[in-house]
Structure 1
Amino acid sequence: MKAINKHFKALGGLCNINHEMSLSLPDLENEIRLIENYLGKDIPELLRDILRKYHGYSFNKDIGYNVTVQIPILGDSTFLDFGQFLSLYPKAPLYLFDILENNEDIFGHDFLPFAEATPGDYIALNINEQSVYFISHDFSENEQSHIKIADSLKDYFLHLCERTEENEVLEKTPKIISVSYSNDLLLMMQEWKNKNTSNKER
Structure 2
Amino acid sequence: MNSDDMRTILGVIGNVTSFLKFISLLPRIWETWKYKEELIYDYHIPAYRVIWCIMWVLYSMPFVHPNSILVTTSNCVGAFICIIYHIIFFLIFKKARRSMVAEYIVEFVFLDGLTWITLAAFDSHSTRSGFVGFFCDLFGIIGSFSELACTIDNVVGAVVGFILLLLFAGYYCVDRFRTIKLSPIDDC
TM range (shorter): 0.3 to 0.5
Tell me the TM-score normalised to structure 1 length.
0.33
Q: RCO higher in 1 or 2 (8 Å CA, sep ≥ 6)?
A: 2
* Structure (1/2) with the larger strand percentage: 1
